[in-house]
Structure 1
Amino acid sequence: MGLLGILVGLSLLIWLAFKGWSVLLLAPIAAVVAAFFSSEPLLAHWTQTFMRSASGFLAQFFPIFLLGALFGKLMEDTGSVSAIADYMTEKLGTKRAILAVVLGGAVVTYGGVSLFVAFFVIAPMAQGLFRAASIPRRLMPAAIMLGTSTFTMSAMPGTPSIQNTIPMPFFGTTPFAAPGLGIIASAIMLAFGLWWLAREEAAAKARGEGFGDDDALKSAADLADDETLRERATASHEFDPAEIAHGEVAATRPPFWSAAAPIVVVILVNLILSLIVLPRLDLSFLSKPEWGGVSPAAVTGVWSVLTALTLAILTVLALNGRRLPDLRGTMDAGVNASALPAISVASLVGFGAVVAALPAFAMVRDAVLGIGGGPLVSLAVATNTLAALTGSASGGLTIALDALGSTYLQRAAEIGMDPALLHRVAVIGSGTLDSLPHNGAVVTLLAVCGSTHGKSYKDIFMVGILGAIIALVVVIVLGSLVGSF
C-alpha cells in the first residue's frame, strides 16, 4: 500500500499541475496522500517533514533565486539584453541567423540573466532574423531553447544557473565542477543542435517553405494574465513571468561594452572566488553550532555565485542605472519575480522529502541504486526521471539529491570517484527530460513565439532533449574511464 500511495500522490501532483493547479497547494496534498496510504502520521509529516525540508531549501537557495531574478530584470529594463541581441544580429546577420539567435541566448543566460527574461528579448530578435532569411517560424522556439536552456543551464562550467548551484552543498563542489567534461558536453549539445537546425532549414528551403505567418509575437503583457501558464512556468524556472510586464524599459539601449560588462563580472568573479579566494580563507568557524556546524565546502560554492550576482547588479546600476525610467518599479518587479518560483520548487522538495521518509521508499531507493553501470548511471536515471515527472529540473534534482545524495557521495568515496563528476552528471541529467511537453518553460516559449507543440515540439525535443542525452552519455562514459577533469 505504501508504494501505491507514492504512485497515487505523484500522479495527482503531475496531473493537476499539468491542468494549471498551483504546486503550492498540490505538493502538500500529494504528500499527505502518500503518507495516508502508508499509515504514517499525516500532520507530523506535513509540519515536521514537508515544511522542514521546504524551508531548508529556501534557506540554502532563496538568495540565488532573489539575486538572479533581480539581475535579469535590471538587464532587461536597462536595455542591456536587447543591446547584446542587437550586437549579435549586426555581427552575424541573416546569413547566420540561427547561430546569431543561439549565441545571443547563450551569452545572456551564461551571464546570469533569467531564462524567461531571455525568452521575451531574444524572440523579437529571432523573428526579425528568421523573416529576413526566410527560415520557418516554427524553428524559432528550438533555436531559442538551444541557446538558453541546454548547455548554459547544465553543462558550461561556472554557469550561475540554480541547477548548477543545487549540487554544491550536497557534494562540496564549486560551480566549475568537472570543467573539462562540462566543456565537452556543451560542445556536443551545441554542435548537435546547430546540425539539426541547419538540416531542418535546408529541408525547408528545398520544399520552398518560407517564414510563414507573420503574426505579431506575444508580449509579456499578453501572457501575464494567463494563470495556467504562470503556474506551470514558476515551478520549472526561477522567474515569475507575470513580473516581466512590470517595471519600465529604458527608452535607449546602452553600448555593447556597457551591456556586456555585468555578464563579464558574473563570470570572472565566480571564477576567482570559487578557485582562488574562498579556498584560501580560514572558514573553520563554520563548524561551530551558531554557524550551522557545516563544512566550508558546503557553502563556499553558493557564496561565490551570490557574490558574483551581487557585484553584477551593482555594475548594472553603476553603468546603466540612470537609463531606468522607474528604478524602484524595476527592482520591485525583479525581487517579486523570485518569490513564487522559489516557494514552488521548495514545495516540490517538501513533497520529495515526505516520499523519501516513507517505509515504501526503500524499495524505490534500492531499485534506483541497483541499476547497472555504477553510481553515475543510476544518478543520471534518478535525476532524469524526477525532472521529467515534476517538469522541473531544479525540483527533480533537489528531490533526487535530498533522498540519495549522501548515498552517492559515500559510494563515490568507496571507489575513489571525484564528487565533481557526480555534480556534473546530476546537473546534466536534470536538464534533459525536464523539457517534455508539459514543462513550463516549453509552454511559455511556444506561447511567446506564437507557435504550438504540433509545429515546433519535434525540433525542441531534438535540440533540448536528444542532444543533452547524447552529451550525458558521453560524460558518463568518459567519467567512468578517466575520472573527472
Structure 2
Amino acid sequence: MGLLGIFLSLILLMYLAYRGINVLILAPLLALLAVVMSGDLPVLATYTQVFMNSLGGYVITYFPLFLLGAIFGKVMADSGAARSIAEWIVDRLGAQRAVLAVVLSCGVLTFGGVSLFVVAFAVYPIANALFRRADIPKRLLPAAIALGSFTFTMTAFPGTPAIQNAIPMPFFGTNVFAAPLLGTLAGVIMLAGGTMWLNRRARAAGAEGYGDHPVTAADATLPEDADLPPFALAILPVVSVIVLNAVLTWFVFPNMSADYLAEPRYGETTLSSVAGIWAIIVSLVASILLAVGLNLRRFANLRESVNSGTMGSLLPIFNTASEVGYGAVIASLPAFALIRDAVLGLFPNNPVASLSVAVNVLAGITGSASGGMSIALNTLGEQFATMGQEQGISMELMHRVTALSSGGFDALPHNGAVITLLAITGLTHKKSYPDIFVVAVLIPVIALITVIVLGTVL
C-alpha cells in the first residue's frame, strides 16, 4: 500500500497540476495522502516537521536568487533594455534568419539573468512581427522562444545564473562554471539542433505562410515609440552579471579567508559550499544597480518595477519549495527505499547515468526543472555524491549532468512555462507543442546522453 500510495500521489500531482490546480495546494495534500496510505504514520508531525521544514530550508537557501533574478528581469523589461537587445539582434540577422534571431534574442537575455517569463513577454511582439514579415508559420514561434529561453542557457552553458545551474552547487561543492567544455558542447548541440529543426520545419511549411491569427494581449505590451536605451548601454547589465560572476567565482572568493563559517552561528559550513550562491547574489545586485543607474529616466515608475519584480518572485519560489517539501515527505516513507534502491541500481557502475534518470523522471512528474532536480538531490543527492567519489567521478560532471537532466522531461505539456508561453502567443498545444517537444525535450535529452557518454569515457 505504501508503494501504491507514492505512485498514486505522483500521478495525481502530475494530472491535477496539468488541470491548473496550484502546487501550493497540491503538494502538501498529496504528500499527506501518501503518508496516510503508508500506514500508521503521524500525519500532522510529517506535515510540520518534514514538509514545512524542507520547504523552509529551500526558501532560506535560494530565496535571494529568485528575488534578485525577478527584480533584474523586471528592471531590464521596464527600462526597455530587453527590447533594445532583442531588436538589435533581429536587425543584424534580418528576416531571412528569423528563427535564429528569435532564439539568440531569448538566449542572450536569459543567459544574462533575465527570467524566461520576462523574456517571453519582451521578445514575443518583436518575434511575432518578424515571423509575419518572413511569412514563417506562427505555430513555430513558441518553439523558437522555448529554445532560446529554457534549453541551452538554462542548463548547459557554464556560468549561466539560472536557478537550475545553482541548485546542484551545495550538493557537489561546485560552482556555476562546472564542467565548462561538456556544458558548452551540450549547449551547442541544443542551439544548433533546435535551430536546424525549426528552419527545416519552416521550409517544409511551403505555402502555409504565417497564417491568420487574432491579435493577443501581449502584442501591444511594447509601444512603438518607447524610449529605448542604445544597445551598448542595454547589454552592459547582462555582461555585468556574467563577468562579475566569473571574477568572484574564480578569483575573489577562492582567495578569501572565511574560517568564521565553521562557527555554529554561520551554519558550520565551508566557503566552497556557499561561494557559488554568494557570487550570483553579488553579481545580480550590482547589475540591478547598474541597469537602474543607466536607465533611470526611462522608468515610468521605478518603485513599481521593483515591487512588481519582488512580488513576481514569490509564487515561483514557493511553488518550487512546496515540491521540495513534497519530495522530502515521499523520501521519508518506508516504501521509498524500494524506489531509491531501484534508481541506484539502474546503472550500479555509472552513478552519472542513474542520477540523470532520477532527475529527468522527477522533473517530468512535477513539470518543473528546479522542482524535480531539488526533489532528486534532497532525497538521493548524498548517495549519488558518495557513489561518484568512490568511483572517482568528477563532481563537476555530476553537477552538469544534474542541471542538464532537469531540462529534459520537465518541458512536458503540463509544464508551467510551456502553458504560459502558449498563452502569451495565443496558440494551443495541438498546434505548437510537437515542435516544443523536439527542441525542449528530445534534443536536450540527446545532448544529455552525449555528455554522459563523453564524461564517463573521459
Q: Shorter-chain TM-score: what band?
A: over 0.9
Task: Name the counterpart of 1:429.
Answer: 405
Q: Which amino acid aligns with 2:306?
A: M
User: How far apart in 1 are the matches of 2:351 and 2:219?
Assistant: 43
User: How far apart in 2 are the matches of 1:102 and 1:151?
Assistant: 10
User: How far apart in 2 are the matches of 1:308 and 1:6?
Assistant: 40
* TM-score normalised by length of structure 1: 0.92
* TM-score normalised by length of structure 2: 0.97
Task: Name the counterpart of 2:33.
Answer: 33
Q: Which amino acid aligns with 1:25?
A: I
Task: Name the counterpart of 1:105.
Answer: 106
Match for 2:256 among 265, 281, 286?
281
Give the superposition deviation at 1:271: 0.6
Task: Name the counterpart of 1:17.
Answer: 17
Give the superposition deviation at 1:15: 2.2
Q: Which amino acid aligns with 1:362?
A: A
Give the superposition deviation at 1:249: 12
Q: For 1:314-340, what per-residue CA distance to the aligned partner results, in whole angstroms no more than 9, with x for missing partners? A: 100110122101111111100000011
Instruction: Report matched runs for 1:12-411 at 5 Å.
Output: 12-38=12-38, 39-205=40-206, 208-219=207-218, 251-372=226-347, 374-411=350-387
Residue identity over aligned pairs, in percent, reads 51
Residue 450 of structure 2 corresponds to residue 470 of structure 1: no
User: How far apart in 1 are the matches of 2:158 and 2:340?
Assistant: 30
Task: Name the counterpart of 2:396.
Answer: 420
Q: Which amino acid aligns with 1:469?
A: V
Give the superposition deviation at 1:193: 0.5
Match of 2:217, SS state, is: coil
**Are the counterparts in 1 of residues 124 and 219 from structure 2 also a CA contact under 8 Å?**
no
Q: For 1:81-135, what per-residue CA distance to the aligned partner results, in whole angstroms no more than 9, with x for missing partners? A: 0001110111111011111001000000000000100001111111111111111
**Are the counterparts in 1 of residues 14 and 414 from structure 2 also a CA contact under 8 Å?**
no
Give the superposition deviation at 1:194: 1.1
User: How far apart in 1 are the matches of 2:307 and 2:224?
Assistant: 14
**Are the counterparts in 2 of residues 155 and 428 from structure 1 also a CA contact under 8 Å?**
yes
Q: For 1:21-77, what per-residue CA distance to the aligned partner results, in whole angstroms no more than 9, with x for missing partners? A: 121111111111111112211111100000110000000000000000000000000
Task: Name the counterpart of 1:231.
Answer: none
Give the superposition deviation at 1:436: 0.5
Give the superposition deviation at 1:152: 0.2
**Are the counterparts in 2 of residues 250 and 324 from structure 1 also a CA contact under 8 Å?**
no
Residue 414 of structure 2 corresponds to residue 438 of structure 1: yes
**Which stretches of structure 1, 4 residues or longer, exceed 4 Å deviation after superposition?**
247-250
Give the superposition deviation at 1:219: 2.2
User: How far apart in 1 are the matches of 2:33 and 2:426?
Assistant: 38
Identify if the C-alpha distance between structure 1 residues 165 and 248 changes in structure 2 by more than 3 Å, giving closer, same or farther: farther
**Are the counterparts in 1 of residues 238 and 287 from structure 2 also a CA contact under 8 Å?**
yes
Give the superposition deviation at 1:162: 0.6
User: How far apart in 2 are the matches of 1:269 and 1:201?
Assistant: 39
Identify if the C-alpha distance between structure 1 residues 137 and 249 changes in structure 2 by more than 3 Å, giving closer, same or farther: closer
Which runs of 5 or more residues in structure 1 are unaligned? 222-244
**Are the counterparts in 2 of residues 249 and 325 from structure 1 also a CA contact under 8 Å?**
no
User: How far apart in 2 are the matches of 1:334 and 1:220?
Assistant: 21
**RMSD of the TM alignment (CA)?**
1.6
Residue 456 of structure 2 corresponds to residue 480 of structure 1: yes
Which runs of 5 or more residues in structure 2 are unaligned? none
Give the superposition deviation at 1:214: 3.9
**Are the counterparts in 2 of residues 77 and 249 from structure 1 also a CA contact under 8 Å?**
no
Residue 3 of structure 2 corresponds to residue 3 of structure 1: yes
User: How far apart in 1 are the matches of 2:105 and 2:384?
Assistant: 37
Q: Which amino acid aligns with 1:416?
A: G
Give the superposition deviation at 1:218: 3.3
User: How far apart in 2 are the matches of 1:249 and 1:288?
Assistant: 56
Match of 1:437, SS state, is: coil
**Are the counterparts in 2 of residues 79 and 250 from structure 1 also a CA contact under 8 Å?**
no
User: How far apart in 2 are the matches of 1:165 and 1:82?
Assistant: 27
User: How far apart in 1 are the matches of 2:29 and 2:181?
Assistant: 43
User: How far apart in 2 are the matches of 1:15 and 1:188?
Assistant: 32
User: How far apart in 2 are the matches of 1:249 and 1:405?
Assistant: 49
